[in-house]
Chain A
Amino acid sequence: MKIRKTSLLFFLGPALFVVALFYIIPLFLSVYISFTPMVDWNVNRYLTQFIGLQNYERLFHIVMYDPDMRAVVITTVVFVLVTLVINVFGGLLLALATYFMDEKMSAAYQGLWLLPRMTPIAVYSLLWYYFFHSSGIGILNSILLKLHLIDHPIALGLDPKYLPWGAWFIIIFVNGLVGVSYGMIIFYSAFKSIPKELIIAARVDGASTTRIIRHILLPLTKWHFTFVMVWQMFSLLMTYAQTFLLVEWRVVDSTWGQTWALYVFRTAFTTTKDQGLAAAASTFLSIIGIVLGIIALKALGYEKMILEPKGDI
């Protein structure tokens, strides 16, 4: 028993250390900062000052009275839901497509879809900045102008005629393109781990590709689906990098292109540099994330998945 505990500590230790250092401690720190008046990163002055719930009261006041906050909440809901569907089901479709391709073709195709993820965020965002730019220098505008589909350049992410849909379209499209490859990799690996014999037997029995997908591939990758769904949901709730750059460069409207995570980031780093308030907003977001995560895991039967097997191994 003693050896078992020692080896448990030995193997789990490094992982636990990393999780504690990079996930749990920042979470605690963030919650702690939300009870301080921290602004302008003045850690030395404000870290030990405790102001109770003042930041939460201010946040509540801002949510109630700031004319942009309603848009922030709606944008967050739309962004997370739509991008989640694209990321999960898009990833699933891509994985299925590549699973049935020959190996070389599949690797090349997957590599192509992984490009947005491999490209540095600033470069990737700059690409879309020029693509969606509201003037004639924008690639989309110049294509549409050349095809005579428009008379003058359109500001898809800014023009009130297209808001909020234009802004939402851009941020969902740009983030979706990055996120979809994650699901693709997980689902593809899951499909590959299914014994080939099952597929061959099904083929021999005359099962069509659709039936193989419905009755073999999807049921056997149910847990991967749960994982991708929950992981991507957390990820989308917290993501802001590409969206921030597009808003900052004014390709996307700052009101309708701003999610809650971006509001947290801008409050802490760019607009007001009010880290106490940003930490309160971030804590709120973490609570929402945890609640949604628990609901999703319950709904998708996570408990069943982690039950120890009943028989002897």
Chain B
Amino acid sequence: MASKGWAIAAAIIIIIIIIGAAAYYMTQKPAPTTTTPTTASTTSTTSSTSSASPTTSAAPAKPVLTGNFEKDVIAIGKYLESKGIHTVKFTVWATGDPNSVMRMYGLYEAAYRINKIWEKNGINVKIVMSKFWESSFKKLYDEFLSAVPQGTNGDFFVNSYIYIANLASQGYILNINSYVEKYWNSVFKDFYPALMNAAKYKGQYYAVPQDTEARPIYVRKDVAACMGWDISNLAQLVKEGKFTWHDMFKKAEEAVSKGCAKWGLIHRKGSAHPDLMQFIFAYGGKLYDPKTGKLVFDVPAVYKWFATEYAFAQHKLLPKDMMSWDWAQQIHPTVVNDCKGSPTGCTLFFIGGTWHWTEWQTKAYYYDPHTHKRRPLTPEEEVKKFYYMLFPAGDPGDKPVTLSQPFMWMIAENAGKDNPDYNQLKDVYHELAFLMIVKASDPEINAIHSVISGHVPVRKAAAALLKNETWINDLINMKINLSPEVKKAIEPIVKRTASKINIEFLANVSYMLEYTHLAPSHPQYPKLAGYFADAINKVLMGSMTPKEAVNYMIQKIKADPDLSKAVEIVGSIPTNWTFP
């Protein structure tokens, strides 16, 4: 019995020691601050640092951003050098389709250009970059969330703007409002205002737009020809709202019944955001009410969306298990393959995105019936194969839409954490990180990204480059002045995608941005979008009717106290409406 007592006593002592050690560690760990970096605060730190330093007279003052890029870069370089810092390490975490690598390499290029400036001015400081790439933007967001408290996150986070609200409210990303103001006239005035607005949370800038896109509906020209359907004026009819989702259904049905295509419609897998949210806007609904600041669950529009997809799935025009299809094995091959002689069959319509245009040119999705091997498409083959148009209006009287999900450069609140004297120098590291984003937003870098990834530029100067013949030819011949590392990394993609056809494509789809909608940047939106994905999966599988799915969503919203406070449920299921 005595030994039992001793064992228990020993166990208690060990537990107390461990808890004590953990508590000590937690109390010692400095809590990160979420203050806005202001010029005033940096100035005041300057004086205290200066007085403490034995080399006060020789040491440069702590830099304050002025809006003059070169001057700011030199000031920061000199200041870091005076503090004995010769290497600054930054890591970028980015995500996207395989061609969107400039989301990482844009910052590599920025680091290279800043290093050049320092070198030219005899400053012995160098930025060293490292990267982490994740193809799923949601997964990267999840990883970032759990990494920030541990301090293992990237310094730069390149992801969808929809996460700004939550990341900013949690204090995970830096408020760069004062920095953006300094660079407004020299840089950000040139950005499209709608995109700059998407970079705000509660009126403050927390990010800088990196790219945007439209989500065209791709129509297979060969399938249309097989049906005897003249689509030469289709984009115009869609634009005028004269070709709606009811017509989409009829045409999809016709394509399948005539044996011209295996499927009438194919769309993304996994999540409902962002592609499928277009249905809500196309049926005249909304997702957010700026007056109340609340998310909106628009019952009539959501019901119509569910009913549309339900009809497609029930008539075998859209796969019931669409949400679990594999991108590389099923979705892309079905979209790009020939209708006859290919293992997957084909589809008449595809709810895609502008980036797919170049992705199909770099990834081997196409099954070549002659060689029986998979290979990428050529730009010429794509022109022959695909027609593109806006996402049609839901009902007659509604408007066509598209949806953009601008990607943003964000700076982690603890950016620069892997560098020496972080606590003393963090303002300087933050300023440097911001300047890197300014450089990565150079029109040339932005335009290269647009061409090779099929995204739309975020600023007018980049859009102008896409109309500049000389610049286009320089890009095609890789005569653009880039760092050797970036050049090497993007060369294979440039070779496949930098063509006049692709630049023409970007010009052709740019009108779609006039019809664009943005999903709400609200902390609770990702949760709501997750419920939409579950609901639409049940609708497609037929385990719920559209009405049941709408009620399921309402129950889910009401069951979650946080979500029910954030979401306004409006309208009711329409009684005199049918689809198709």
Instruction: Name the B residues within 8 Å of A24 (CB-CB).
Output: 15
Q: CA of A69 to CA of B556 in the docked complex: distance in angstroms?
A: 10
Which chain A residue shows the least CB distance to B19? A25
Which of B6-14, B182-190, B242-250, B301-309 makes up part of the contact surface? B6-14
A272–B320 CB distance below 8 A: no
B7–A12 CB distance below 8 A: yes
Instruction: Name the B residues within 8 Å of A133 (CB-CB).
Output: 324, 326
A9–B6 CB distance below 8 A: yes
Q: Considering the complex, which residues of chain A in the window 227-275 have a beta carbon less than 8 Å from any beta carbon of chain B? A: 249-251, 253-255, 269-274
B321–A135 CB distance below 8 A: yes
Nearest-neighbour CB distance to chain B for A14, whole angstroms, equals 10
Query: Is B45 on the interface with A (CB-CB < 8 A)?
Result: no
Query: Is B542 on the interface with A (CB-CB < 8 A)?
Result: yes
B541–A273 CB distance below 8 A: no
Query: Is B419 on the interface with A (CB-CB < 8 A)?
Result: no
Nearest-neighbour CB distance to chain B for A136, whole angstroms, equals 9
Q: CA of A273 to CA of B146 in the docked complex: distance in angstroms?
A: 9
Query: Is A149 on the interface with B (CB-CB < 8 A)?
Result: no
Query: Is A150 on the interface with B (CB-CB < 8 A)?
Result: no
Nearest-neighbour CB distance to chain A for B423, whole angstroms, equals 15
Q: CA of A272 to CA of B28 in the docked complex: distance in angstroms?
A: 30
Instruction: Name the A residues within 8 Å of B3 (CB-CB).
Output: 4-5, 8
Q: CA of A43 to CA of B29 in the docked complex: distance in angstroms?
A: 11
Q: Given known contacts A25-B18, A160-B541, is B10 in contact with A9 (CB within 8 Å)? A: yes
Query: Is B77 on the interface with A (CB-CB < 8 A)?
Result: no
Instruction: Name the B residues within 8 Å of A41 (CB-CB).
Output: 145-146, 148-149
**Can you list, as one digit per residue, whether each of A1-34 has a CB less than 8 Å from chain B (1) or not (0)?**
1001100110011001101110011001000000
B14–A17 CB distance below 8 A: yes
Q: CA of A65 to CA of B558 in the docked complex: distance in angstroms?
A: 8
Q: Considering the complex, which residues of chain B in the window 21-60 have a beta carbon less than 8 Å from any beta carbon of chain A? A: 22, 26, 31-32
Given A8, A43, A159, which contacts B320 in the complex, CB threshold below 8 Å?
A: A159
Query: Is B67 on the interface with A (CB-CB < 8 A)?
Result: no
A160–B542 CB distance below 8 A: yes
Which chain B residue shows the least CB distance to A61? B561
Q: Given known contacts A43-B149, A135-B321, is B6 in contact with A5 (CB within 8 Å)? A: yes
Nearest-neighbour CB distance to chain B for A155, whole angstroms, equals 5
A160–B321 CB distance below 8 A: no
B324–A21 CB distance below 8 A: no
What's the interface size class on B, roughly? 35 or more
A62–B559 CB distance below 8 A: yes
Q: CA of A134 to CA of B323 in the docked complex: distance in angstroms?
A: 11
Given A13, A45, A163, which contacts B170 in the complex, CB threshold below 8 Å?
A: A45
Instruction: Name the A residues within 8 Å of B11 (CB-CB).
Output: 16, 19-20
Given B18, B330, B559, which contacts A20 in the complex, CB threshold below 8 Å?
A: B18
Q: Given known contacts A41-B148, A137-B330, is B15 in contact with A20 (CB within 8 Å)? A: yes
**Can you list, as one digit per residue, whether each of A37-49 has a CB less than 8 Å from chain B (1) or not (0)?**
0011111110100
Nearest-neighbour CB distance to chain B for A134, whole angstroms, equals 4
B543–A269 CB distance below 8 A: no
Q: Given known contacts A67-B555, A250-B537, is B560 in contact with A8 (CB within 8 Å)? A: no
Which chain A residue shows the least CB distance to B531? A271
A269–B142 CB distance below 8 A: yes
Q: Considering the complex, which residues of chain B in the window 316-370 have a beta carbon less than 8 Å from any beta carbon of chain A? A: 319-321, 323-326, 329-330
Query: Is B269 on the interface with A (CB-CB < 8 A)?
Result: yes
A273–B142 CB distance below 8 A: yes
Query: Is A171 on the interface with B (CB-CB < 8 A)?
Result: no
Nearest-neighbour CB distance to chain A for B469, whole angstroms, equals 45
A250–B324 CB distance below 8 A: yes
Instruction: Name the B residues within 8 Å of A8 (CB-CB).
Output: 3, 6-7, 10
Query: Is B171 on the interface with A (CB-CB < 8 A)?
Result: yes
A250–B270 CB distance below 8 A: yes
Q: CA of A62 to CA of B556 in the docked complex: distance in angstroms?
A: 9
Q: CA of A156 to CA of B10 in the docked complex: distance in angstroms?
A: 53
**Can you list, as one digit per residue, whether each of A257-299 has a CB less than 8 Å from chain B (1) or not (0)?**
0000000000001111110000000000000000000000000
Q: CA of A173 to CA of B192 in the docked complex: distance in angstroms?
A: 54
Q: Given known contacts A40-B170, A160-B543, A163-B543, is B556 in contact with A67 (CB within 8 Å)? A: yes
Q: Given known contacts A5-B6, A42-B171, is B552 in contact with A158 (CB within 8 Å)? A: no
B530–A45 CB distance below 8 A: no
**Can you list, as one digit per residue, whether each of B168-184 has a CB less than 8 Å from chain A (1) or not (0)?**
00111000000000000
Interface residues of A (CB under 8 A from B): 1, 4-5, 8-9, 12-13, 16-17, 19-21, 24-25, 28, 39-45, 47, 58, 61-62, 64-69, 133-135, 137, 155, 158-160, 163, 249-251, 253-255, 269-274
Interface residues of B (CB under 8 A from A): 2-3, 6-7, 10-11, 14-15, 18-19, 22, 26, 31-32, 142, 145-146, 148-149, 166, 170-172, 269-270, 319-321, 323-326, 329-330, 527, 530, 534, 537-538, 541-543, 552, 555-556, 558-562
Given known contacts A159-B320, A250-B537, what 13 new A-B pairs fall within 8 Å (CB)?
A16-B11, A20-B15, A40-B166, A40-B172, A66-B555, A68-B556, A133-B326, A134-B321, A254-B537, A255-B534, A269-B146, A270-B142, A273-B142
Question: What are 8 A-B pairs at a CB distance below 8 A?
Answer: A4-B3, A5-B3, A20-B11, A41-B146, A62-B559, A135-B325, A155-B320, A269-B142
Listed from nearest, the 6 A-B pairs whose CB atoms lie closest are A250-B324, A160-B543, A66-B559, A65-B559, A134-B321, A43-B149
